[in-house]
Structure 1
Amino acid sequence: MKLTSSNGRTIAGGHQQADDRADRDGSVEDAQDSLLRTVGSRVRALRARHALTRRSLAEHAGVSERYLAKLEGGSGNASILVLRKLAVALCCEPVDLLSSEDTAGQEEWGELQSMLRGKSSEELRAFRQILDGLTSRSVAQDPQRTERIALVGLRGAGKSTLGRMLAEERKCCFIELSRLVVEIAGCPVPEIYALYGEAAYRRYERRALEHAIEKYPRAVIAVPGGLVGESETYNLVLKHCFIVWLTASPDDHMSRVISQGDLRPMVGYNEATDDLRRILASRRDKYALADLTHDTSKMALVETYLALRDRIEQTQMRNSKNTADTSKASHGEEFRPQRQ
């Protein structure tokens, strides 16, 4: 008996469907086997790097030596909890055990992680600036960086209000990046999310930022709070803008959001405050890469603005001097014999 598919293809006895299913199942099994081999290889490599015997690693991770041998051989199927135990014992993250990148690169990355673990935000920021210079992506490549002021922080921190005041005094353009997103997309932000999803919004966000950087050599930019979660997009801000992280107390955040017409925090204030703290905790390390942090809760608006303006000027002058001193030290002063 012959069967005919909906697209007109003749399938003899339905064998073609069975073969297709077998091919799919085989592909899945191959992918699973490859992942198991990757995990085994990564565990072996990291164990060797830490000079651990199989028995020692098994004891540290709380698994049997026999199970660990199967895992390293590529036949042991580890649960998430087991991967976490192994990662802790090997001083890495669980995701590091799943990566199939070259061993040498992974070892170097592991060393960097070990060096940076437990460092303060200031130390991480200093390390990043040094790394930027070594990889020829230093902020000095963009001579307009200090002329673009990017304000980051949670909603209600004062980015729009202080940004407009700062742009007016600096006689430059003020850009509300979320509004530029709306102009480019041709529809409001809620519709972008509803019709196309968050990924599409983030693409529009990046396009808006690239447009602002290209078109405005001098500007004050209010950056949406969640943009820092997109590493590639945030790296553009870090490279092309002088960044100020605006902070505020939870009460001030809530009251300012309400004054903007969003009454949701009034319905469940405690829950909204808890959400605010969780969001801040998840973004703190990214915000901390800013050139300057400024609290907007301690003083009245005018005093807050004047203090912000002065601190930006002082910080930029200090950074400029440090850059000049570093350049002299790295290249050496030209030898000029004194006249007798």
Structure 2
Amino acid sequence: MTIALVGMPGGGKSTVGKQLARQLQVPFVDSDAEIERQIGMPIKAFFEREGEASFRDIEARVIAELLARGTELVLATGGGAVLREENRAALHQCATVIYLRSSPEELFRRLRHDTQRPLLQVRDPLQKLRELYHVRDPLYRRVAHYVMETGRPSVHALSNMILMQLELAGVVSPERVAATVGAERG
């Protein structure tokens, strides 16, 4: 069982992913953190030095490597991972993909002070988020097996909603969900 989370920057993929992994007692991997580990520098610095195309090449390789492991894990992907068809195909085929859907306005509220996301270091970040959403939302929907709205629920509640959806779909056993949903926050 590999669960992959996709969505816009700031959509909660890493935060929710860590919670899901903890509840399912499986490893959590953030593809951006794995990329930084492999390239030995922050993505922002690599982006500035090598450009987006080089970054996307490395991202595609890392996602393919992580999916090829064939072990149980929860994978949080970078917001732009869906831009490449090869990533969409690999994710859809090798994982159960959850799209954590957030509006550009909600994302702006979360990210307005973030200086580490290269694509948002522009004069009008809200407009940039709207542009990214316009392009990426259809791609997230295409790759996803399930779409979860991130608007109001807490991380714990959203994680439980995902687990219940996965149980209903037969992806996660009822015993595994019963042991985690409603359990104390960790």
TM-score normalised to structure 2 length:
0.80
* TM-align CA RMSD: 2.5
Give 1:280's match in structure 2, choosing from 133, 140, 150. Answer: 133
Q: Which residue of 1 aligns with 2:180?
A: none
Structure 1, residues 238-284: CA drift from partner, whole Å, max 9, x if none? Answer: 1111100001233431232247566998x96xx32222122111112
2:80 partner amino acid: G
1:279 partner amino acid: L
C-alpha distance 191-274 of structure 1, shift in aligned 2 (>3 A): closer
C-alpha distance 256-316 of structure 1, shift in aligned 2 (>3 A): farther
Query: How far apart, in 1, do the equivalents of 2:24 and 2:153 lie?
Result: 22
By how many angstroms is 1:186 displaced? 2.1
1:228 paired to 2:82: yes
Contact 2:101 2:149 in 1 (8 A): yes
TM-score normalised to structure 1 length:
0.46
Identify unmatched segments of 5+ residues in structure 2: 172-186
2:132 partner amino acid: I
C-alpha distance 259-274 of structure 1, shift in aligned 2 (>3 A): closer
SS of structure 2 residue aligned to 1:288:
helix
Contact 2:148 2:162 in 1 (8 A): yes
Give 1:181's match in structure 2, choosing from 35, 43, 57. Answer: 35
Contact 2:2 2:94 in 1 (8 A): yes
Give 1:247's match in structure 2, choosing from 91, 101, 110. Answer: 101
Structure 1, residues 31-77: CA drift from partner, whole Å, max 9, x if none? Answer: xxxxxxxxxxxxxxxxxxxxxxxxxxxxxxxxxxxxxxxxxxxxxxx
Query: How far apart, in 2, do the equivalents of 1:262 and 1:192 lie?
Result: 12
C-alpha distance 204-151 of structure 1, shift in aligned 2 (>3 A): same
Q: Which of the pair is proportionally richer in helix? A: 1
Following TM superposition, where does structure 1 have runs of at least 4 consecutive aligned residues deviating by more than 3 angstroms?
A: 258-265
1:213 partner amino acid: L
Contact 1:246 1:296 in 2 (8 A): yes
By how many angstroms is 1:194 displaced? 2.7
C-alpha distance 260-188 of structure 1, shift in aligned 2 (>3 A): same
Q: Which residue of 2 aligns with 1:156?
A: 10
1:185 partner amino acid: I
Q: Which residue of 2 aligns with 1:192?
A: 46
1:204 partner amino acid: I
Structure 1, residues 228-247: CA drift from partner, whole Å, max 9, x if none? Answer: 11111221111111100001
Q: Which residue of 2 aligns with 1:312?
A: 166
Matches for 1:314-329 after TM superposition, within 5 Å: 314-316=168-170
Structure with the larger RCO, 1 or 2 (CA within 8 Å, 6+ apart): 2
Q: Which residue of 2 aligns with 1:322?
A: none
Query: How far apart, in 2, do the equivalents of 1:205 and 1:303 lie?
Result: 30
Query: How far apart, in 1, do the equivalents of 2:170 and 2:138 lie?
Result: 22
C-alpha distance 273-238 of structure 1, shift in aligned 2 (>3 A): same
C-alpha distance 169-259 of structure 1, shift in aligned 2 (>3 A): farther
Matches for 1:21-170 after TM superposition, within 5 Å: 147-170=1-24
Query: How far apart, in 2, do the equivalents of 1:149 and 1:232 lie?
Result: 18
SS of structure 2 residue aligned to 1:187:
coil
Query: How far apart, in 1, do the equivalents of 2:40 and 2:100 lie?
Result: 29
Contact 2:112 2:125 in 1 (8 A): no
Count of matched residue pairs: 169
Give 1:301's match in structure 2, choosing from 145, 151, 155. Answer: 155
